[in-house]
Structure 1
Amino acid sequence: MKRHQLGTLLLSLAMGLLGAIAGGCTQEREYDIVIYGGGSSGFIAAIQGAKLGKSVVLVEPGNHLGGINVEGLGGTDIDNHHEFQNSPAVGGLALEFYRRIADAYGIRDSFDRAVQQKLKNPRMWRFEPHVAEQVINDWVRELPITVLLEAPLVEGETPAIMENGTIRSIRTEKGVINGKVFIDATLEGDVLAAVGVSTVIGREANAEYEETKNGIREHTTHCQFAVKVDPYREPGRPESGTIHGVLDESLGTPGTADHRLQAYCFRVCLTDSAENRLPLPKPENYDRSHYELFIRYLKAGGQIYRPRVGLPNRKTDFNGGSDVSHNLNGMNYGYPAGDRNQRQQILAYHRDFTQGLFYFLANDTEVGQLDPDLQKAWSNWGLPKDEFQDNGGWPRIFYVRDARRMVSDYVITEHHADKLNPTPVADPVAVAFWPPDVHNVRTIVKDGYAYNEGFVFGGDWWQPFGISYRALVPRRSECTNLIAPTCPSSSHIAYGAIRIEFTFMALGQAAATAAALTVDRRCAVQDVPYDQLGKSLIEQGQVLRIQ
């Protein structure tokens, strides 16, 4: 049996067993911990809660656990930049996850040696989506965790039942779920919104938290256009309107707040392995005019990205973020607060555009004339047969880099990451070891040419920082039994340093540990004593500070 066939068989068996767990309705039972969202924070929180002896239900709106780990982001952001080594921040169950990945690839000894000796080897932390999914499903099945798949919050009626500032139940498509403590482990902050906790979408003004890198950016240099591209339908004629992908709007006032979000994209898993490759699909509604920006970029002398092997078994985790790419700047603003249909429309647009772009680069005659090497490179890649088999080889969800963020009494800002004068954190539950990283939010016209606005990344001004437990809990007046590990109270810029998958795993472990203490003490989440919480996390191997 070939390797990908064996992996498919094992994955099918795992999903069959998981489905058996997920079949029932839950309105007749109250759980100690109710977790909504099965991504990095969610599945880790479920595992931690069960390890602590609590009854746990893990509710996932979609039909797969694992979030973006099982949807293409296998090029984990660990030790992948020459300027710093962030693997020392990986501990607790996050480290156990990567150990299990190493076991799946038969490299456990090498992995353990790299961890113990603090060797910097990014390939040790990378994986294929279906391998991650198998590891997660197997791990969850080892513990008494109730899993409900395809159980989104209901629409058209109140999705949460509150009593005196406490959540009693959430209503899902699989029934009403009662609980003592709730964890919103979604990137969208859907439970936060359902119960009326204060949230923000978009960029704060610099003045709000006395920051320097928030709001509208006067100068954007990272992933800026490398060549001058005319943005108008009729070149040189502003009155003709802008081409697809370029917004006809002014820059605005630098430093002021707005509704805009950093771009989303699919983390597409591709392969150049001939025996495991499906052709790049052409979407039914393919519109060549949508890619005029890329043609003009090539004509101006620009170099367009191309896939390269970065994951095991000749695969890639293909990310957006270049000056022109499948990061769809300005196309996601309605997603966080949108209803299910609106979100699905935005997801479908991103899918169709991205599939069309890849097909265009691999097949379009003019692309071949302008850059034959580019087209030759793209024509050697396709979708892997052994990934996303229930979705034609394409990821089921895209990469939500930023959506809702909670606004609580404690807000993490860029000052926490400031290397010269960092804000001290007395109650860390995890470490953010990544530079504040927010992608461009839009492509506009500036000085007559296409211009990307919003990207902030890197530099030598930042350092890792502890993430305060207080940033995970709402204001006491709003809710006393909800914890938000994936939408912590943080500014747009600060969230860019937090939104890494291993950090979400650490925050999920912290959230479950705090939830267990809340149940045991019968207290509000705001009253969990940090001395006990911090001690428990250290005993679990969690990294709370970088020395």
Structure 2
Amino acid sequence: MRNLQIVALIVLSTLSVANGQPVQQECDVLVYGATPAGVCAAVAAAREGAKVFLLEPSDHVGGVNSGGLSFSDSNQMARDALRGLFEEFHQRIEADYTRRGIQLPYSVAEKDQKVWTYEPHVAARVIDGLLKEAGVSVLPRRVLWTVTKEGTHLRRVSTTNGELYTAKTFVDATYEGDLLAAAKVDWVIGREGRNEFGESLAGKQFPKPPIAISGLDARGELLPLITTKDAGPAESGDRNVMTYSFRLCLTANPENRVPFPEPKHYDPARFEVVRRYFNQEKKPILLWDLYPLPGDKVDANNGIGKQFSMGIIGGGNAWCESDSKTRARIWEEHKQYTLEMYRFLTTDLAVPPNLRETLAKYGLCKDEFAAYDHWSPQLYVREGRRMRGAYVMTQSDVLSNRVKPDPIAVVSFPIDSHDCQRVARGDGEVINEGTIYPVRLETVKRGPAYQVPYRAITPKPDECTNLLVPVALSASHVAYSSIRVEPSWMTIGQSAGIAAAVAAKLEQPVQQLDYPKLKERLLAQKQALELP
């Protein structure tokens, strides 16, 4: 079993040394985190002529794009504004299928709202090709250990295997914001109160109907899967993040189906609250979202509108601030929960027979993630640290203040947050808290288009002058709930890579780049910057 390699956050015991000294390698741009944003940043910087290292703490490259998220959220966005490497990624996926004589149910050339889907191994192959063609040095299993700063200048980073890396410019492309935190850049986690930025969608959110069941056991204690008896003041923020889960690639095709592994242990009592939910639900539905994929497969996802689903509410709260060993444990907890829930939903008599039978047809895919026992190697970290940078994006930047003088991307995904808490209200009601149902335009099923300013990915100049942060960028929880999807991060990541290469070439602080010159290079790499 290679379960812990999947997250690859266990400290390596053997140091890489030369003549008793740590090996030091130099580059122009160092990208930490081989997420889709990190891949795009690395490729874009390399295409600008920079020598690029892409360090990844795990042995998995591509984040959730090659880790099971195969249902592109760009169907809920203005695709005319998603150009550059995002468009090229999908063009290459389409070409991959076409070469093998497979007709996809969409065309990348048509900028409509059809769903763009692909299999994880195809995405991985395309990502590998992009990186190799660009000449990026991909260095997996490099876990960040320390950073060295000289004033506001980040000089080098070390990894747990004893290697040292110096660069002129750095890009933190992790979902968690690990490099920015190590570099002592200001950050927050969780949710703001409504008054901090005047956001109506901040604070506590209760859009789902309450469930008329008790969330307490016979002693008055919380049942498993209930997080609290008190959600806190409605207008206040907290340190809760939206639920994490896996995006599983599944199939019902017996020729490719691998049975779900048995959980290490299974306690039916863990799902007592779900059992009570089904006993009172008049219109029961399948609790996992299943999206059709090529290859007779489906992408299984946490259902944002469902009372119970694939995510452990509260299970990811400690992830970002934890050490390697604790993250490995949290990863295993999410896998264990998913396996137990699958068993519950396919065997427990409280679940309607048609729903049990529907889900039981599905298993893992023999031709996906073979090195990981066919399980996704990537936990879906929907929200981590958020930098407090030169400009903080808020709800108004998404809904009204949509034009910026220094745009590096156009984003148009709806404001959309999964659950953050599950609350037992007294002895007769359970309610989920934290969901923000997609805030869409009235005419089309997408969010309003708005420009992401360059200042949102730069730290304050008195904190760090050669770091860019395209994923854990500077935004409130509400604004982040719109930005937090891979099409956005890929686009912002590409712009971050271009800016990093330009800053390295000119040996300038990232905050002092001449925007017209940066814009020229963004457009040269086919980025879309104007609102559609």
What is the rounded CA distance, in whole Å, between the counterparts of 1:279 and 1:116 in structure 2? 38
SS at match of 1:452: strand
Give the 5 Å matches for 1:223-238.
Answer: 224=209, 227-234=211-218
Of residues 30, 48, 68 in structure 1, which corresponds to 2:44? 48
SS at match of 1:147: strand
Specify the alignment match of 1:317 in structure 2: 299
Shift in Å, 1:114: 4.0
Specify the alignment match of 1:436 in structure 2: 415
Specify the alignment match of 1:520 in structure 2: 505
Shift in Å, 1:119: 3.4
Aligned partners of 2:456 and 2:474 also within 8 Å: yes
Matched, 1:375 2:356: yes
Aligned partners of 2:207 and 2:437 also within 8 Å: no
Shift in Å, 1:306: 4.9
Specify the alignment match of 1:473 in structure 2: 458
What is the rounded CA distance, in whole Å, between the counterparts of 1:115 and 1:541 in structure 2? 15
Map Cα deviations across residues 94-139 of structure 1 (whole Å, 9 max, x no partner). Answer: 11001111111118998899444433321xx211111111111122
Matched, 1:161 2:133: no
Corresponding letter in the other structure for 2:66: V
Specify the alignment match of 2:232 in structure 1: 252
**Identical columns (%):** 32
Of residues 527, 531, 538 in structure 1, which corresponds to 2:516? 531
Specify the alignment match of 1:387 in structure 2: 368
Corresponding letter in the other structure for 1:334: A
Cα pair distance change 1:389/1:192, threshold 3 Å: same
Point out the more displaced range, 298-307 or 446-455: 298-307
Aligned partners of 1:42 and 1:508 also within 8 Å: yes
SS at match of 1:240: coil
Cα pair distance change 1:423/1:313, threshold 3 Å: closer
What is the rounded CA distance, in whole Å, between the counterparts of 1:92 and 1:299 in structure 2? 50
Point out the more displaced range, 294-303 or 372-381: 294-303
Corresponding letter in the other structure for 1:333: N
Specify the alignment match of 2:185 in structure 1: 197
Aligned partners of 1:304 and 1:324 also within 8 Å: no
Shift in Å, 1:476: 0.5
Residue segments in structure 1 that go unaligned for 5+ positions in a row: 1-22
Map Cα deviations across residues 447-485 of structure 1 (whole Å, 9 max, x no partner). Answer: 531110011122357611100000000000000000000
Shift in Å, 1:176: 0.7
Aligned partners of 2:74 and 2:413 also within 8 Å: no
Of residues 119, 123, 127 in structure 1, which corresponds to 2:112? 119
Give the 5 Å matches for 1:16-35.
Answer: 27-35=23-31
Specify the alignment match of 2:194 in structure 1: 206
SS at match of 2:245: coil
Shift in Å, 1:316: 1.4
SS at match of 1:133: helix
Map Cα deviations across residues 8-36 of structure 1 (whole Å, 9 max, x no partner). Answer: xxxxxxxxxxxxxxx99994331000000
Cα pair distance change 1:24/1:464, threshold 3 Å: farther
Relative contact order, CA 8 A, sep 6+: which one is greater? 2
Specify the alignment match of 2:7 in structure 1: none
Map Cα deviations across residues 476-503 of structure 1 (whole Å, 9 max, x no partner). Answer: 0000000000011000010111111011
Corresponding letter in the other structure for 2:307: D
Cα pair distance change 1:531/1:194, threshold 3 Å: same
- As a proportion of its length, which structure holds more strand? 2
Shift in Å, 1:44: 1.0
Aligned partners of 1:201 and 1:404 also within 8 Å: yes
What is the rounded CA distance, in whole Å, between the counterparts of 2:213 and 2:109 in structure 1? 49
- TM-score for the superposition, normalised by structure 2: 0.90
Cα pair distance change 1:114/1:130, threshold 3 Å: closer
Matched, 1:98 2:106: no
Map Cα deviations across residues 420-451 of structure 1 (whole Å, 9 max, x no partner). Answer: x3253111101111011111101011253111
What is the alpha-carbon root mean square deviation over aligned residues?
A: 2.1
Cα pair distance change 1:306/1:459, threshold 3 Å: closer
- TM-score for the superposition, normalised by structure 1: 0.88
Shift in Å, 1:546: 2.2
SS at match of 1:310: strand
Map Cα deviations across residues 314-357 of structure 1 (whole Å, 9 max, x no partner). Answer: 21111113211112111221111111111111111111001111
Aligned partners of 1:307 and 1:378 also within 8 Å: no
SS at match of 2:335: helix
- As a proportion of its length, which structure holds more helix? 1
Cα pair distance change 1:229/1:105, threshold 3 Å: farther
Matched, 1:171 2:153: no
Corresponding letter in the other structure for 1:170: V
Shift in Å, 1:48: 1.0
What is the rounded CA distance, in whole Å, between the counterparts of 2:95 and 2:323 in structure 1? 40
Map Cα deviations across residues 252-299 of structure 1 (whole Å, 9 max, x no partner). Answer: 111212111111111111111110001122211222211112211111
Matched, 1:346 2:330: yes
What is the rounded CA distance, in whole Å, between the counterparts of 1:445 and 1:306 in structure 2? 23
Corresponding letter in the other structure for 1:126: T
What is the rounded CA distance, in whole Å, between the counterparts of 1:68 and 1:132 in structure 2? 10
Count of residue pairs the alignment pairs up: 502
SS at match of 1:457: strand
Specify the alignment match of 1:39 in structure 2: 35
Shift in Å, 1:194: 0.5
Cα pair distance change 1:540/1:359, threshold 3 Å: same
SS at match of 1:228: coil
Give the 5 Å matches for 1:125-164.
Answer: 125-154=116-145, 159-164=146-151
Corresponding letter in the other structure for 1:151: R
SS at match of 2:298: strand
Matched, 1:506 2:491: yes
Aligned partners of 1:307 and 1:316 also within 8 Å: no
What is the rounded CA distance, in whole Å, between the counterparts of 1:464 and 1:446 in structure 2? 38
